[in-house]
Structure 1
Amino acid sequence: MDLIERSIKIIEENQSEAGSYVASPNFSQYGYCWFRDGSFTAHAMQKAGKKESAEKFIRWGLNVLKRYRHSLEEAAFGPRSDLSILLPTRYTLDGFVSEDDWTNAQSDGYGTFLWIVAENPQLLDESDLEICDLCAKYLEGVWEIPCYDVWEEFPTMIHT
C-alpha cells in the first residue's frame, strides 16, 4: 500500500459517523473537528476520488451551522467588540460546542468551510444557501476583530 492509499485509509477510518474529521485520533486535545482542517481534508478526499467522504463532511458542517444559527445571527447583527462573539474554533465529532478550556477565537475556519461548500453547489438546498449566506455575514462582521492565528499565538492581531 502506498502513502496516498494509506493516508486515505486513515482518514476514512477516523471520519466520524456524523461526517466530521478528527484532527488527531492519538492526542486528546485534538479529538475534535476544526472547520479549517476538515475543509482541507474534504478537498483532498475529493481529489482522491472519495466524493462521499467529502460530502459527508460538508453535510456535517452545514448541520453545525444550522444548529448554532442563533450564535451566527448574534455575531453577524449584534454589537461587535471582542473575541467573545466569535464562534467556536473546534467542535465535538458529533457537531456540538465543547465545554472545555480551549481558545475559541479563530474565524478563518468558517471562511475555509464556505470555500469547500462553494466547490460543491450541487449538494445545497435552500436552507443550506441561507445558512451559508448568514455565515458570510458573520465573517463580514467579525473579520476586523483581532483574533488568534492558526497556531493560537497572536490574539491581538488581525488574521485571514
Structure 2
Amino acid sequence: MSGTGAPVAQPVDSRDLRVAVVAASWHVEVMDGLLAGAARALKDFQVSEPLVVRVPGSFELPVVCSALAQSGYDAVVALGVVIRGGTPHFEYVCQAATEGLTRVALDHTVAVGNGVLTCDTEEQALDRAGLDGSHEDKGYEATAAALVTARTLRSLRGSSA
C-alpha cells in the first residue's frame, strides 16, 4: 500500500491564498471522490472560494494549471486518474501529466498539488479516491500538499525582501 509513511499536514489558515482545482472528467466515480477530498481539505485549510475547473482528461491538466499559475494563483491542484490498459497510452499520458505539472511548478514557482492517480486497475483507483471504504484520500492529500507548499513559498518570498 502506497499510503504507508505519508506525512500528516496540519491544516493552517490559508484563506488569503488564491487556489484553483483542475479536475479531469474521465472515471466519474473516482473523480467525484477526488473532488470531495479536495473540498474537505480546502474547508479544513479555510479556503472559502477556490476556482474549480474541469478538463476532458489528465493530459489536459498541465496546460490549464499553467494558465492559472500564470494568472496569479498561489496554488493549483491537479486531479485526474489514468488506468492502465492494453496499449502504451497509459505511459504516455502519465509521463505527460507528471512532466507537465512539474514544469508548471518550476516555471511559475507556484505550488502544484499532483493528485493524478496512475493505477493498474479501477479497484486501485477507487481505493485511493477518498470514497467510503477507500484506504487513501489522494484528493485531500494533494490539496493539503499544495496549500502547505504555497504557505512555504510565501514565507520564503517574504524573508528574501
TM range (shorter): under 0.3
- Structure with more of its chain in helix, by fraction: 1
- Structure with more of its chain in strand, by fraction: 2
Give the TM-score of the pair, scaled to structure 1: 0.28
